[in-house]
Amino acid sequence: MKPSLYSSLPLALLLGGGLLLPLAARAQAPVVANFTPTSGTSGQTQVPVSAATVVTITGTFLTGVQSVLLNGQQMPIVAGSNSATQVQVTVPRGALSGRLRVTTAAGTTLGLGSLTITRPAGTGNFRLVSSSFNGIDVGTYSTAASTDLDHDGLVDLLVGEATGTISRYEQSALNSTTFTSTGQVRLSDGTIINNNNAGNTRQFAKPVVADLDGDGLLDLLVGAQDGFITRYEQSAVDAGTFVKIGDLPMDASDVVKPSIVDLDNDGLLDLIVGSTDGLLRRYEQTTANGAFGTTATFLTAGGVNIDAGNYSKPVFTDLDGDGLIDMIVGNQDGTLYRAEQTGAGLTTFTALALITDAAGTAVDVGDFSAPSLTDVDGDGYLDLLVGNAAGTVYQLEQIVSVARPLPVTLTAFTGQATAAGNQLRWTTAQEINSARFVIERSADGRTYQSVATVAAAGTSSSAHTYQHMDAASSSLPTAYYRLRAEDQDGTFTYSSVVVIRRAAATAVLTTFPNPFESELLVALPAGSETQPVTVTLSTLAGQQVYRSQQALSSVAQPLPGLPALKTGVYVLRLTTTTGSTAQRVVHR
């Protein structure tokens, strides 16, 4: 049964600078007395997969509930269930534990206590399902976000790319792994969203979807190269089009990726923003359904600001079902990192750790990994859909604690660049009816071709080590490899991808004088053509004290408009469309 549609409410207005107006109380605000059960699943359980939990909320003044939110995620309202004293909602796919936020036209209230979302205990590891999920290719620098725009129970995947547009792909059937393109996301007047500002197209669209103001209309937040986040809102309930609301009133460095969660479980949404400098900034709503504060705090581990690497892109979930929120972060290197809350309701995390497959090999999607989370096929295991510099999307599935017998148990797959070519090695712990290993190589991380076949051991309970020298790869600056382990019945599985990069001359920016007093000259590496560059100057604590956008080349130019700076060490960062270069400079 399809959940009922949400009632439409006039669009939330912006105060100067983009702040959201709270809903006006026109009658008695809703009161939540209780909800049952207090824990449940989104249908993500061990086989057999059960239906998602239906939660019954009781109280008073509940007539005309417009939305029930859990961490900014809409909980579909069960058709015909809403009365003055009750409303029933379904736990959404990929939900996180948290407080329920109930909104009517008269106001908003928070439920007492938290709804605990249970899921299979995970190992923290992932396995590669596909390096080209549904053949999606948006050009370059893909970043995905999952949602359900039309509330039909089918996952919508919104994928941003380098020029600032966003493409939509919708599941063809419930729990299907096949998605169909519906075209680029548009405004209600038919204009393609290109995340523009005063007619100027912003680069690098980084989307996330939530309902910020509880009006039943989904909000699309899009981060961009210039550090600003633009808010769009659905033009109507279930619509695939949006209305532009404006920029949020904060500037979080450059090339920003927003994410929504409620870390401290107070019912106020947290906007967590990754960016070029690798730091993770947190902005919290000042009131339920209200504006985000404009002053950032930083996520920390061990009392130190977390630095997830250049171009950090965070998402949040609970991988191991222990009630503590896990943060998964992508970055420029193409790998993924995980950190976990140090305690329920805290904004501090454990140290970052690499996400690996079962063999301990780091998950690597090439460059500029951009993770998003959902459960595509409803089998109870979270899927990571990861964008990258190549513009494709990788699908990786969570490995849970319950063992899945595999024909080949791969314990290691590694590679190393040598003078003779790329040396590949892999080890198996056991093999059951294995036939062969096919080595596949790609130059761009998208299109793979078979380059060699190595016979397998067949059936064996002892360890076996294999190797292959790919001599034809010596001319490739970067090569991507994966193993296709084929069984005697023709079935096969893929390993995680190993990326081998050959050393090249280090490109460094030029700065002088260093130390400097009133003037600092900068230049791109030798041979660089004139191009647009974002220049920032930050303290070692991560506070940005200067930013400009100008055309630079290998010819040194002075930075215009430097502020009065305190004596000390600063980080100078130059960001172009192809990457970022940083260097420490001293002001005296």
Q: Per residue in 310-326, pLDDT tens? A: 999 999 998 876 778 99
Answer yes or no: is pLDDT of 305 > 90. Answer: yes
Which pLDDT band, with edges at 50, 70 and 90, does 423 fall under?
very high
Closest CA to 65 of 37, 91, 90, 84: 84
- What counts of helices (H) and strands (E) characterise the chain? 0, 51
Whose structure tokens read 């290719």?
137
Across 210-218, average pLDDT: 91
Question: Which residue segments constitute the domains of the chain, with CATH numbers given?
Answer: 31-117 (2.60.40.10), 122-400 (2.115.10.20), 409-501 (2.60.40.10), 510-587 (2.60.40.3080)
Amino acid 196: pLDDT: 57
User: Which has the higher per-residue pLDDT, 198 or 430?
Assistant: 430
The full 3-state SS of 448-478, as one line of letters, equals CEEEEEEECCCCECCCEEEEEEEHHHCCCCE
Give residue for tokens 């998402």. 315
Position 15 confidence tier, pLDDT thresholds 50, 70, 90: very low
- pLDDT of residue 234 exceeding 60: yes
Question: What is the 3 state secondary structure string of 166-177?
Answer: EEEEEECCCCCC
Cβ atoms of 242 and 194 within 8 Å: the answer is: no
φ/ψ region of 139 (left if φ > 0, alpha if ψ in -120 to 50, else beta) reads: left
Burial class (CB in 10 A: 0-12, 13-18, 19+), 508: exposed
DSSP letter assigned to residue 11? P
CA torsion sign for 435, 405, 467, 500 is positive
Largest CA distance in the chain: 77
Kindly indicate the confidence band of residue 52, based on its pLDDT and cuts at 50, 70 and 90: confident
With residue 221 as reference, give the H or E element that holds it.
strand 219-223
The closest of 386, 382, 390 to 372, measured between CA atoms, is 386
d(CA 35, CA 21): 28
Strands 206-210 and 219-223: antiparallel
State the average pLDDT for the chain: 84
| CA–CA separation, 59 and 106 (whole Å) | 15
Residue 9 pLDDT exceeds 50 = no
What three-state secondary structure class fits 100? Answer: strand
**What does the pLDDT average to over 345-365?**
89
Which of 73-82, 148-157, 470-479 is predicted least confidently? 470-479
* pLDDT value of position 19: 38
Q: What is the pLDDT of residue 492?
A: 74
Quote the pLDDT of residue 42.
73
pTM for this entry: 0.67
Return the H-helix or E-strand segment holding 40: strand 39-40
Query: Of 89 and 491, which is predicted with more confidence?
Result: 89
CA distance 247 to 168: 22
Task: Tell me: pLDDT of 578 over 70.
Answer: no
What are the pLDDT digits (tens) for 263-293?
A: 988 889 999 999 999 999 999 999 888 899 9
Q: Which two tokens stand for residue 64?
A: 């005309």
3-state secondary structure 492-557: EEECCCEEEECCCCCCCCEEECCCECCCCEEECCCCCCCEEEEEEEEECCCCEEEEEEEEECCCCE
Q: Which of 20-24, 116-120, 491-495 has the lowest mean pLDDT?
A: 20-24
**195 contacts: CB under 8 Å, gap ≥ 6:** 164, 165, 166, 201, 202, 205, 222, 224, 230
Q: Return the SS3 of 237.
A: coil
Strands 116-117 and 531-539: unpaired
Q: What is the pLDDT of residue 499?
A: 76
Measured CA to CA, the distance from residue 577 to residue 368 in angstroms comes to 12
Q: Which residue has the tokens 């990326």?
A: 499
In this predicted structure, the answer to whether residue 377 has a pLDDT above a threshold of 60 is yes
The pLDDT assigned to 122 comes to 63
